Each structure stands twice: as C-alpha cells, then as structure tokens.
Structure 1
Amino acid sequence: MPALMLKLPPPVAEAWDWQLSAACRNADPSIFYFADNERGDPRSSRVRAAKRVCRQCPVRARCLNYALEAYEPHGIWGGYTEDERRTLQRRRDLESQPTADTCGVRTHCDPLATRAAVYAM
C-alpha cells in the first residue's frame, strides 16, 4: 500500500493503554518476529510459541485491530502472522469498498469482491 494511503492511529497515550495488559509484555520479543533466513521447523515452532502467548492475552482483539489499522507489516500481532493479517486486510478492504449497483445506489454488496474474499480464505 502506498505510504500516502497509510492511516496510523493518532498518537494519544490513552489509545495505547491496552498494551499495559498485553500478555506479550513478559514474553521474549524474539518469538514474535522472525529472522530473515528462518524457515521450516524453527519458524513453525516460533510461530506456535507466539500464538500460545496470544491465545491467553486479554487484549488480543485490540492488538489485532491495531495491526490491521496500521497495516503492520512485521511480527505476530493478535495471534496472526504477517501473511494471515494480509489476508484479513484484503477481506476487510474489499468489504468496506462501496460499489454502485444497477440502480446507481451505492451498496456494500459486490459479487466480485465477495468472490475474491472467498478465494482469499
């Protein structure tokens, strides 16, 4: 996504308070980010460990929502990997785009977008 289109949350301290309750605050940060050359079993094990931490997190939904809104390209946020979040973002973006129906009225029900979302699953 072009940088000009990026919409980050406003820099208000209260908007970040949810992070104080995050389960990952006491976890090793390296389990949430992969090394450039990490592949196979080591990467799968690290992702599983990060997702275990996320499953217990009381602010998991807020974390995921932040990552989706910010188009966070790195790490595991809210229990989702980079690739999984890209799929969620594509679906969310497709669902939020209004389209014109045959009557010229704007609607959120676009059969092509719906079909694309199904294929993205």
Structure 2
Amino acid sequence: MQHPPHQSPQVAAVTALPGPRVPSREEDGPWHAEAVCKRDEAGLFFAPSKEPTAARLSREEAAKRVCARCPVMIACRQHALLQPEPYGVWGGLTAAERRVVLARMRRRAGELRQQPGSEPIAAAG
C-alpha cells in the first residue's frame, strides 16, 4: 500500500489499517502522487518528541506554506479528516486544527439531525 509522501513510518503503520479512502484521480493516479510535500522532508510535517513550542509553531507554519502551494491540498485535507490522521500537518491543517474541524462537523451533523421533521436521537447513558 502506498502512503502519502510526507508520512512517517510510525504514522504509516497506523494508517495502514482499514478505513475510508480519498478517491484517487484515475487518469493521474493517487492524489498524493502530485503532492508538493513529497519533495520535502517528513520532519517538516511531523513533530519531533519534546519539541519546544516556538520551534513547533515555526515548523508548522513552514509546513503550511508548502501546503499552500500544493495542487492537491484539498484532497490531502479530506484524507486527513476521513482517516482521521492523528499527527502532523496535512492539507494545511495541524492535528489540533483538524480536531476542531472534526468537532464542528460532528456538532453540525447533530444539529441537522435535531431539525424539525427528523427522528429524535436517543440520549446515551
């Protein structure tokens, strides 16, 4: 199984598990074949252990600049949200930013289910 270009070996092992996949562009191959980050070092996209906050912020901003010029940024972001990828910068979003997006998506889905005319959702408990 081919993994996106900036994926660390540790993350590759985790994401090799079955799960939703972003559809590939049949005529050009998988979306990550066009990723700009495949030419960059994985260290730019994944934090080393015990990285100081200032260094992490600087590294993440540099990774986001790479993402900003990438033709497959949206597909990469969709992949990271669908998997979900727990680490690194994907599609211009950090792991923390992706958690916020996913929480908003879940909240919005819950609001849509609660609209008049929809089935009530049983409370968990």
TM-score, L = length of structure 1: 0.71
Classify the secondary structure of the residue corresponding to 2:92: coil
Distance 1:12 1:62 in 2: 9
**1:74/1:42 Cα in 2 relative to 1: closer, same or farther (>3 Å)?**
same
How does 1:47-86 map onto structure 2 within 5 Å? Answer: 47-86=60-99
Query: What SS does the corresponding residue of 1:106 show, helix, strand or coil?
Result: coil
Tell me which amino acid in the other structure corresponds to 1:9: R
Q: Which runs of 5+ in 1 are unaligned?
A: 1-5, 108-121
1:62-101 CA-partner distances (Å, limit 9, x unpaired): 0001100111101100010000000000111222234344
Normalising by the residue count of structure 2, what TM-score does the alignment of the two structures yield? Answer: 0.69
Structure 2: where are the runs of 5+ without partners? 1-17, 120-125
- The aligned residue for residue 9 of structure 1 is 21
Closer, same or farther in 2 for the Cα pair 1:10/1:51, shift >3 Å? closer
4+ aligned runs moved over 3 Å, structure 1: 10-14
1:99 aligns with 2:116: no
What value does the CA root-mean-square deviation take over the aligned residues? 2.6
- Name the structure where helix makes up a greater proportion of residues: 1
